[in-house]
């Protein structure tokens, strides 16, 4: 189950900053965590402020968890135990990652839920990090900006010996926050790329184990590719929640429209 909503905070369109709050909500299915197994099940690669509620369910044994949040100079780690056949809830801010470990001696059936409120600023230079030019959104300063939401789901069989199969590509330019919830039946490697410049455009590479679910929150999404290096096919199920800035007086796109009209006139 996934929900996605945004609420406008600042309605003064003459300001450089157009900030909104958005939310992404989802729950995984139950999956087995083998004994002596540690896994990262959710990681957030965005920069803006956020508040996250984690709902963690453990059946069959006690589960060790580590919740990482962003600090000023270093990451903070919350270590806790979810007792056997119980639920624990945590509310944190500036969430970074959730890791689970099973040292109980038995297989644990595990489910997690994420309820995330986040800031998204359509003309926020800082949200792009050092990988982007500071004047990237200069033409949007007096634009009227909004945040739109797109939620969708799809299933894709991944044949054995598949290398870098593209599944989703984004050719838009405005700032965005994207949440992926991916479930597989057999091990699959995912490669997620975001917009950046030079060496800053580094991919996020992760392997999802057999029967596993993993979630990723990123900003300025560019592409998603998957690989299956075994001979055994795997199913691949993904839920996408996308919150995107759209600026209706965007000079950059007006310039492109003018160029297209000029080309048409001289055709």
pLDDT tens track, the chain, 267 positions: 555 555 554 444 344 457 899 999 999 999 999 999 999 999 999 989 999 999 999 999 999 999 999 987 788 999 999 999 999 999 999 999 999 999 999 999 999 999 999 999 987 543 444 444 443 455 555 668 889 999 999 999 999 999 999 999 999 888 999 999 999 999 999 999 998 755 556 799 999 999 999 999 999 999 999 999 999 999 999 999 999 998 887 455 555 555 555 554 544
Q: Compute the C-alpha angle 166/226/214, nearest 5°.
A: 125
Local structure of 175: helix, strand or coil? coil
Non-local CB neighbours of 109 within 8 Å, separated by 6+ positions: 30, 31, 32, 33, 58, 59, 60
All domains in the chain, ordered by first residue: 2-265 (2.60.120.380)
Local structure of 53: helix, strand or coil? strand
Local structure of 198: helix, strand or coil? helix
Q: Compute the C-alpha angle 37/41/46, nearest 5°.
A: 145
Q: Give the predicted TM-score (pTM) of the model.
A: 0.78
């Amino acid at each position: 189950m996934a929900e996605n909503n945004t609420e406008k905070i600042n309605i003064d369109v003459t300001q450089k900053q157009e900030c909104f709050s958005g939310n992404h909500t989802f729950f995984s299915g139950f999956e087995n965590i083998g004994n002596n197994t540690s896994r990262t099940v959710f990681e957030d690669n965005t920069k803006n402020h956020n508040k996250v509620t984690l709902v963690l369910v453990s059946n069959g044994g006690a589960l060790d968890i580590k919740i990482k949040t962003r600090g000023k100079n270093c990451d903070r780690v919350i270590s806790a135990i979810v007792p056997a056949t119980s639920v624990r809830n945590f509310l944190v801010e500036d969430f970074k990652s959730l890791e689970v470990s099973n040292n109980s001696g038995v297989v644990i059936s595990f489910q997690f839920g994420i309820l995330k409120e986040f800031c998204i600023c359509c003309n926020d230079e800082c949200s792009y990090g050092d990988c982007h030019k500071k004047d990237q959104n200069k033409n949007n300063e007096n634009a009227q900006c909004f945040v739109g939401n797109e939620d969708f789901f799809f299933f894709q069989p991944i044949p054995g010996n598949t290398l870098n199969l593209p599944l989703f590509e984004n050719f838009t330019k405005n700032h965005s926050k994207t949440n992926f919830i991916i479930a597989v039946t057999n091990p699959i490697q995912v490669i997620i790329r975001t917009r950046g410049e030079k060496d800053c455009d580094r991919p996020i590479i992760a392997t999802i184990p057999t029967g596993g679910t993993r979630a990723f929150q990123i900003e300025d999404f560019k592409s998603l590719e998957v690989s299956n290096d075994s001979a055994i096919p795997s199913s691949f199920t993904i839920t996408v929640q996308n919150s995107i800035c759209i600026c209706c007086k965007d000079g950059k796109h007006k310039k492109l429209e003018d160029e297209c009209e000029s080309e048409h006139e001289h055709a």
